[in-house]
Amino acid sequence: MTLDRETAMQVATVLSRGLPYIQRFTGKTVVIKYGGNAMENEELKSSFARDVVLMKLVGINPIVVHGGGPQIGELLQRLNIQSRFVNGMRVTDAATMDVVEMVLGGQVNKEIVSLINAQGGTAIGLTGKDANLIRARKLEVVDRSPELERAEIIDIGRVGEVASINVDVIDMLTRSNVIPVIAPIGVGPDGASYNINADLVAGKVAEAMKAEKLMLLTNVSGLKSKEDKVLTGLTAQQVNDLIEDGTIHGGMLPKIRCALSAVENGVRTSHIIDGRVAHACLLEIFTDEGVGTLISRN
């Protein structure tokens, strides 16, 4: 493709302005949780894959952790397997777990790997069961409803939380110029598979890898104030204050708690970014404005 002089100058200017950011983040690890709207639109899929490949080419080490809730729900419906949710989490019996593994470890994971490889990257797909990458334990859900005399533990099946991350496996891949693409399926002490929330896995991978950034792609423009304005640079204390006064509530709470845990456990910054914006990852790394909310420890 031949560019006219004006367009070529614009490209050169953009690349030049990106240099300080490239210098700052070369050799750093960035963990990206990918899912939701960004995963359903063909143009956004392509821009995401290009972002990840470019990050690797300029010396950043991207690690992708993906979800796949809508795809799981669609296949369960086609197979006439009933879905039930408790506190926003899918109750996962043996039949549901088989579908989760099929969709996350197969369909979704391999599609993302193919997208990145098609853009010139070298991606490898993994689940947490590969080389015991994600050790899991069963997640206990406690019902503290006012009508109960005492709290009760609800069994939601094969839903887990992260016990540990095998960083040696990820280190081996990143040192080999490979982009890991991780499906959030863990393995328990008995070898059983566990379905784990992808935000939670991304956060724990970021903590274990001492990542520079944790980026959680969402379908909103970022954290918003009560006046409906996007909040940009926040400290962990400010976020806790927003939870206390009810500004942050509902479905955003688990994502925010994951972002907070990351910055409180060694990750430099967490970002809630708008996955509906093309090249959202590059905009967050290589511009001061970004496309969402940045959370830091201090």
DSSP 145-200: -TTSSS-EEE--BSBEEEEEE-HHHHHHHHHTT-EEEEE-EEE-TTS-EEE--HHH
Q: How confident is the model at residue 57 (pLDDT cuts 50, 70, 90)?
A: very high
For residues 83 and 51, the answer to whether their CB atoms sit within 8 Å is: no
* Tens of pLDDT, residues 201-220: 999 999 999 999 999 998 87
Which is higher by pLDDT, 54 or 275? 54
Report pLDDT for 247.
78
**Residue 7: per-residue pLDDT:** 78
Above 60 in pLDDT, residue 260? yes
This prediction has a pTM of: 0.90
Q: What integer pLDDT is reported at residue 138 of this predicted model?
A: 92
The pair phi, psi for residue 258, each rounded to 5°, is -65, -45
Angle subtended at Cα 292 by Cα 39 and Cα 224, rounded to the nearest 5 degrees: 110
Decide if pLDDT at 256 tops 80: yes
Strand boundaries in the chain, DSSP class E = 29-34, 61-66, 85-86, 89-90, 123-127, 134-138, 141-143, 152-154, 160-165, 179-183, 185-187, 193-195, 213-218, 233-235, 269-274, 292-296
CA distances from 286 to 19, 60, 223, 279 (A): 9, 12, 20, 11
* Stretch 129-142: mean pLDDT: 90
Q: How far apart are CA 247 and CA 159, in angstroms?
A: 29
Distance CA 53, CA 118 (A): 10
Quote the CA–CA distance of 36 and 52 in Å, as a whole number: 17
Average pLDDT for residues 182-196, to the nearest whole number?
94
270 falls in which pLDDT band (50, 70, 90)?
very high
pLDDT band at 147 (very low <50, low <70, confident <90, very high): low
Measured between alpha carbons, how far is 203 from 177 in angstroms, rounded to an integer?
Answer: 22
Which CATH number is 26-296 given?
3.40.1160.10
Beta bridge partners of 180: 124
- Give the number of residues written for the chain: 298
Q: What is the pLDDT of residue 85?
A: 82
